[in-house]
Structure 1
Amino acid sequence: MDDGTRLVSYCIPDGPPSEAEVVLELKLLKRNKVPGPDLLSPSLFKDGGVRLLSELTKLLQTIWETEEVPRDWCLSTVIPVFKKGSRSLCDNHRGISLVSVASKLLTGLILRRLTKPRESQIREEQAGFRSGRGCVDHIFTLRRILEHRHSYRQPTAVVFLDLRAAFDSVARNVLWSCLLRKGVPEKYVNLLRSLYAHSASRVRVYGQLSRAFITSSGVRQGCPISPFLFNFVMDDILEGALRESSGLGVELLPGARLTDLEYADDIVLLSPSAEDMQTMLNKVSDRAGLYGMHFAPSKCKVLLQDWGISTPTFFIAGNPLETVDSFTYLSSTISSVCNIADEISTRIAKARLAFSKLRYLWRRKNVQLSLKRRVYNAHVRSILLYGSETWPVHKGDINRLVVFDHRCLRHLAHIKWVDRVSNAAVRRRVFRNVRDARSIGQDRDANRALHEEAGLRFFEIFISSPLEVCEQRDVKGLYKKARAGEIKDFTGLTSAYESPAKPDLILHTDKRTVQECVQQCIEMLANAVSPHGKT
């Protein structure tokens, strides 16, 4: 392939693996993983003792020297898992491939040696399958770019590309050439080539195995090194297609431009020009075709920001792409008007669905509240706050999230609204002895800070009255119910009451009439407006 991409070399040993390296790979194996076609579980390898370790090391060293991988290691078992929709359609299932644990040890050794030198060579635009990188990095980058350009009303075209069956479509002969060209030692390439030379799969359904069928393209599913190899492919495609892109992309800093973002096979192209965007689409599509990979036009979308009256139509492989106002990128909603409200609505809806699916757990009173709290944080809050690091939120957005959170916490603690228990008391009960729970005083200070940041005055009025007076005034009989144990965490009785530290005004309602208390409030507000008390 004539591409002109940069040539690199790796300073890594190509000698056979040592026993210490094998021990490390065995430690990294997870016990509860399902075994491959040979039915040899990870626990067998981990608990095999010194004898198995010695024999396994000798076997791996022999494979390393001969560059011949056992054929049994090339076989995988595919288990179809239903996603959604009609069960009769194959597209509504995804396959989970089970490969030999021994083959994972070999590819793990190769991966361990190649990862560190490769990390310094991979494109910065790629965040998938990289240590210390994640979805949030690219979500944040894309949001900041769009917000900055939107503030200056600069036109921006964003195209989200989706490859059709990306992992299964890679042309292997081109992959080996790419690895050699990128500086991977020939020894490693030959070992991988041997592993893929006789690759075959069998499908397991209802406890029965199908006949083996040969797989001649794509990287092996379920293999530790497959994501690493796939990143080589994506790196080569984008680097080769956009290597002469000095004038393309959007400007980040004077002289620095960004043309694309990648998270594995999720590609984003950016451009302020329709002509430049179409040029990039043509180059990327042609380059991907050399690897046997093709884009799915129906899943590729265009987002135009501050574009004006005319709406250009973009094409990929001759197929027009749909223009949308918002797009779900890495599970986060990206809007053309940089509106975060839609994203928060989506997150609340998804968190509500996750919460409702665990309704049976929240209703059980024999389950400890501490366990419910842990499940709630792991399965609901994590969904609610996914990508929140990237949100330019306003006070109203925060209130929506807090209202949903408090509603869920009340369900966990079996506290009804009619119980008249404050949100702060609910949080203290659920997050007892946990740093997440804040005191009422901290909530008050936070509210004061929010008002002051918005340029609003905040007044804290302490309505003071003895407990016995409150009970006398209770026409609904709530105090009586609380003393009888019918209402839990009732402020002043079963839940501690925290008096304000420095209130702006104290109203002693047991000593003054309603009119006198109202007059005190008016005088305080008048003094706040005018030092001389004149409104």
Structure 2
Amino acid sequence: MLSSGLEARYNFLSRTVNQNVTYGQLTVAGLTVFALHLSTEMRALQQKRQSCPRRRITASHQRYFNAGPCGLTEVNGGQPSVSAGRKWRRSLHDVRVKRGADAASDHQLVVATLKTKLKVYRDKADRPSFKFNVNCLKEKVKAEEFRVEVKNKFEMLALLPEDAVDQHWQQLREVWKTACSTVLGKKTRKHKEWLTTGTWSLITERKVLKDKINATQDVEQKRELQTSYWDLNRQGKKRARQDKRTFIEELTTEAETAAGQRNMKRLYDITRTLSGKKNSSNRPIKDKEGNTIPGEEDQRRRWAEHFKETLNRPAPSTPVDIPSQTEPLSINTNAPSKAEITNAIKSLKSGKAAGPDGIPPEALKADIQTSTEMLHPLLNKIWEQECVPEDWKKGYLVKLPKKGDLSSCNNWRGIMLLSIPGKVLTRIMLERLKTALDKKLREEQAGFRQERSCTDQIATLRIIIEQSLEWQSPLYTVFVDFQKAFDSVDRETIWKLMHYYGIPTKFITIIQTLYEDATCQVIHDGKLTESFNVQTGVRQGCLLSPTIFLIVIDWVMRQATKNQRTGIQWTLMRQLEDLDFADDISLLSHKLDDAQKKLCRVAEEAEKTGLQINISKTEVMRVNSKQQNPIRLHEEDIKEANKFTYLGSIVNKDGGSDEDIKCRINKARQAFITLRQIWKSKTLSIHNKLRIFNTNVKSVLLYGSETWRVTKTNSKKIQGFTNRCLRNILGVHWPEVISNEELWERTRQTPVETEIMKRKWGWIGHTLRKPASNITRQALDWNPQGKRKVGRPKQSWRRSVEEEVKASGTTWAELGRTCQNRVRWRSFVEALCSSRNHEA
């Protein structure tokens, strides 16, 4: 049985008994092959055709391959043919003779090529609203046309103050959607996404010209059309090359911005776009019993079942006991102003997917002034009535793969596509909240907060491990992992904690309205599952969700460490209990019993809010430990780890950065290989290739390098990899040889060791400018209680920094004053790196 789209080749050997037989015949799978020998056989075949007049199909091919037995051809009666049922008439593509087989016979092998064309099953499942071609807005003419269309339709609206919120919103939604449909049109799939509308019009014109060439019979006219065709073809190709260069330059500029912000996620997305690779999320999945689900409809049902269970967890058995409200935060509770709406629209990120209402962010940003005028009355009405449109409660859930077996639904996470205009409201609320709320959060928490980064937490943990090794101080680090943390928080607990942290009632009521009766549909294979309610967790994709989640984690850790001294001695009067980055928590203790107690307390307090610790992914790392008793939770042993990937960097119980550097080189090599088509391109200049290399490969290579203890061996490995990449980009291959100095000069690169040093001292200056209470700043001169080993101390990150400070002829106190002036600090770093290069 043939599968759809699969080319099947049927080989038929024509058979005849002797020359007196009327025709040779073989029947296979409903197809009959005839091989004609003599002209007299044609009469016999005609008699055969009379018995099945509408069944004979003869495929055309080159006459050279139509030779039958004894070299007979179509002319002298040697044409092979195939008879088949009517259902095969669209499937038979070709019939030919294979003359190569040496079979000691005058017969030849007849081959028929078929391709099945089965009817496509049309699934009746709902589909997400189609995407608009927002790339048109990059063209000034289209952008102006869109602005005029939106403004005219908005001025024609008859909005009344007594209109309900939903009615008011639906009229605004139709304005944007109608303008998008009229001016932008539906986004179609293009193999070359960089091609602009002008280039596509040239391609369409060229296609029309080709049809005219094929249709005309006049030789002179055809020659003229052919000349015009080749001129148009040259113009089209030239425009396409220009479009591709512009597209890649824009992506490179965006990548440079993301690299400057240490936004690795965006860098990976740009790398995937440049490589042209797309990861499909439509993989075969299994049900709860482990059986593979073949049908798309059954798969959608399984995805809906999985996420319905994930997003609707049972309430905690022991509710959290939260005291009465503390001092309320000083936050503006007035209705949103036009200035706030304008700033919120400007902050929307372009290129993001639209929610169920189908309105992309580019539609609002195309004419910010008109969008502000449209949204201002609506947001004021929402603020007064404390209710939101139903569209803003709906969401499309997109699946994203995690690690592990992707046939299991548990190894996928979901992110919600929400209404873009709804994000304008949440952005305004977030901007009012974050500054006042930040002062109430614990110093140990660095996730989703200004002036804090992953590098801060990685550097602090590396310093703690290396200093503990140097001073022979015992250290127990428990890396806690929560099961689906953002999806399992109890919402009643959220509202109580928001009151406790002093968030105004107006804010809480509007947020509750967004969460109340919220629904979701999973997108699978371009189709939607049935809608279901979402009753637990924070809304993935909502701008307020990270801040709300930080409140819950902050409460859990406060309660777990309250009136406890189970951490490591940090200052004379203070202990450091943990380091947090959102839900990535590392618990720190000097004693095994303290680590055991702290983990149990964290688990107990977390369960009251709906959070559950994932025992299989929680690990413990021991440094200078003589006790071998396991740490246990819920009667299960916690896994022991010699190394652990913390916030993207590998930390080792023996200190150092060798493992992490090796891992970064491998990741950078994979990124370089992924972009191999870019390096081979003859369209792009070397300058643009080097920009892409710096942003998409070098940024991956040097992630977390501010915290590395770089040895000469590691430096050579990193530099060797970088040099090989640069030579590949320049096209320098053996036996051609150029020196490293010439290579760096031609590519305008600095030695990697110098670049790592600049990054390190740039981060140190940033850290020294922080307040004295900051944990990362305190880590720069932290020492545990203990005693050093006899002999030369092992080299560490902080020891190498202290040596560089000493070599510069300054002190930490002087550096603290110098870093306050950024210009002076940059000069100091340049001088320090320059002196290091001269020594090398």
Q: TM-score, normalised by structure 1?
A: 0.78
Equivalent residues of 1:143, 1:334 under 8 A apart: yes
Equivalent residues of 1:285, 1:317 under 8 A apart: no
Pairing 1:36–2:350 present:
no
Aligned counterpart in structure 1 of residue 470 of structure 2, from 144, 147, 151: 151
Aligned to 1:306: 624
* Greater C-alpha Rg: 2
**Structure 2: distance between partners of 1:380 and 1:353:** 9
Aligned to 1:498: none
The 1:334–1:50 alpha-carbon spacing in structure 2 relative to 1, beyond 3 Å, is closer
Equivalent residues of 1:350, 1:384 under 8 A apart: yes
**Structure 2: distance between partners of 1:291 and 1:317:** 18
Pairing 1:222–2:541 present:
yes
Letter of the 2:697 partner, please give it. Answer: V
Equivalent residues of 1:128, 1:264 under 8 A apart: yes
Letter of the 1:350 partner, please give it. Answer: K
Aligned counterpart in structure 2 of residue 411 of structure 1, from 714, 723, 728: 728
**Structure 1: distance between partners of 2:493 and 2:333:** 22
**Structure 2: distance between partners of 1:437 and 1:99:** 43
1:388-408 deviation digits (Å, cap 9, x = unpaired): 111122222212211111111
1:25-59 deviation digits (Å, cap 9, x = unpaired): 11111232211001012122233565543341111
Letter of the 1:195 partner, please give it. Answer: L
- SS across alignment from 1:40: coil
Equivalent residues of 1:427, 1:437 under 8 A apart: no
Number of residue pairs the alignment of both structures matches: 439
Cα drift, residue 417 of structure 1:
4.5
Cα drift, residue 179 of structure 1:
0.5
Equivalent residues of 2:519, 2:534 under 8 A apart: yes
- SS across alignment from 2:604: helix
- SS across alignment from 2:559: helix
Equivalent residues of 1:424, 1:438 under 8 A apart: no
- SS across alignment from 1:261: strand
Cα drift, residue 87 of structure 1:
4.5
Equivalent residues of 1:4, 1:240 under 8 A apart: no
Aligned to 1:253: 571
**Structure 2: distance between partners of 1:402 and 1:421:** 15
Pairing 1:421–2:725 present:
no
Aligned counterpart in structure 2 of residue 106 of structure 1, from 425, 433, 438: 425
Of residues 92-101 and 336-345 in structure 1, the stretch that sits farther from structure 2 once superposed is 92-101
Cα drift, residue 279 of structure 1:
1.0
Aligned to 1:192: 511
Letter of the 1:102 partner, please give it. Answer: P
The 1:367–1:436 alpha-carbon spacing in structure 2 relative to 1, beyond 3 Å, is farther
Using the aligned pairs only, state the percent identity: 35
Of residues 291-300 and 414-423 in structure 1, the stretch that sits farther from structure 2 once superposed is 414-423
Q: TM-score, normalised by structure 2?
A: 0.50
1:513-532 deviation digits (Å, cap 9, x = unpaired): xxxxxxxxxxxxxxxxxxxx
**Structure 1: distance between partners of 2:664 and 2:546:** 29
Cα drift, residue 426 of structure 1:
0.9
Pairing 1:318–2:635 present:
yes
Aligned counterpart in structure 2 of residue 262 of structure 1, from 573, 580, 595: 580
The 1:55–1:421 alpha-carbon spacing in structure 2 relative to 1, beyond 3 Å, is closer
1:121-156 deviation digits (Å, cap 9, x = unpaired): 111111111122111100000000111111011110
1:302-332 deviation digits (Å, cap 9, x = unpaired): 1000102x31211223321000111111111
Q: Superposed, which structure 2 residues align to 1:112-123 within 5 Å?
A: 112-123=431-442
Pairing 1:370–2:687 present:
yes
1:92-142 deviation digits (Å, cap 9, x = unpaired): 333231101122111111101101111111111111111221111000000
- SS across alignment from 1:380: helix
Aligned to 2:490: 171
**Structure 2: distance between partners of 1:258 and 1:91:** 34
Pairing 1:204–2:523 present:
yes
Equivalent residues of 2:715, 2:752 under 8 A apart: no
**Structure 2: distance between partners of 1:144 and 1:371:** 38
**Structure 1: distance between partners of 2:547 and 2:723:** 43
Pairing 1:240–2:559 present:
yes
Letter of the 2:468 partner, please give it. Answer: R
Aligned to 1:160: 479
**Structure 2: distance between partners of 1:275 and 1:49:** 59
> Unpaired runs of 5+ in structure 1?
440-449, 455-501, 503-535
**Structure 2: distance between partners of 1:314 and 1:49:** 57
Aligned to 1:495: none
**Structure 2: distance between partners of 1:36 and 1:321:** 41
Cα drift, residue 366 of structure 1:
4.0
Equivalent residues of 1:108, 1:224 under 8 A apart: yes
Aligned to 1:127: 446
**Structure 2: distance between partners of 1:416 and 1:255:** 62
Aligned counterpart in structure 1 of residue 397 of structure 2, from 78, 86, 93: 78
Letter of the 1:225 partner, please give it. Answer: L
The 1:49–1:422 alpha-carbon spacing in structure 2 relative to 1, beyond 3 Å, is closer
Equivalent residues of 1:17, 1:109 under 8 A apart: yes
Aligned to 1:346: 663
Cα drift, residue 7 of structure 1:
3.0
**Structure 1: distance between partners of 2:382 and 2:353:** 25
1:396-453 deviation digits (Å, cap 9, x = unpaired): 221221111111111111112532310111111112xx677999xxxxxxxxxx9xx9
- SS across alignment from 2:364: helix
Pairing 1:333–2:333 present:
no
Equivalent residues of 1:200, 1:214 under 8 A apart: yes
Aligned counterpart in structure 2 of residue 291 of structure 1, from 599, 603, 609: 609
The 1:58–1:104 alpha-carbon spacing in structure 2 relative to 1, beyond 3 Å, is same
Letter of the 1:272 partner, please give it. Answer: H
**Structure 1: distance between partners of 2:330 and 2:413:** 39
**Structure 2: distance between partners of 1:332 and 1:437:** 19
Cα drift, residue 238 of structure 1:
0.5
- SS across alignment from 2:476: strand
**Structure 1: distance between partners of 2:644 and 2:529:** 40
Equivalent residues of 2:323, 2:500 under 8 A apart: no
1:437-471 deviation digits (Å, cap 9, x = unpaired): 999xxxxxxxxxx9xx99xxxxxxxxxxxxxxxxx
- SS across alignment from 2:645: strand
Letter of the 2:575 partner, please give it. Answer: R
Pairing 1:384–2:701 present:
yes
Aligned counterpart in structure 2 of residue 279 of structure 1, from 584, 597, 616: 597
Equivalent residues of 1:71, 1:198 under 8 A apart: no
The 1:56–1:251 alpha-carbon spacing in structure 2 relative to 1, beyond 3 Å, is same
**Structure 1: distance between partners of 2:706 and 2:744:** 23
Of residues 207-216 and 50-59 in structure 1, the stretch that sits farther from structure 2 once superposed is 50-59
Letter of the 2:439 partner, please give it. Answer: S
Letter of the 2:385 partner, please give it. Answer: T
The 1:185–1:437 alpha-carbon spacing in structure 2 relative to 1, beyond 3 Å, is closer
Letter of the 1:114 partner, please give it. Answer: L
**Structure 1: distance between partners of 2:689 and 2:417:** 34
Cα drift, residue 283 of structure 1:
0.8
- SS across alignment from 2:445: coil
**Structure 1: distance between partners of 2:508 and 2:715:** 52
Equivalent residues of 1:326, 1:336 under 8 A apart: yes
> Unpaired runs of 5+ in structure 2?
1-319, 755-799, 805-837
- SS across alignment from 1:297: coil
**Structure 1: distance between partners of 2:647 and 2:532:** 33
Cα drift, residue 296 of structure 1:
0.7
Equivalent residues of 1:161, 1:295 under 8 A apart: yes
Aligned to 2:43: none
Aligned to 1:10: 329
The 1:102–1:438 alpha-carbon spacing in structure 2 relative to 1, beyond 3 Å, is closer
**Structure 2: distance between partners of 1:286 and 1:85:** 28
The 1:187–1:363 alpha-carbon spacing in structure 2 relative to 1, beyond 3 Å, is same
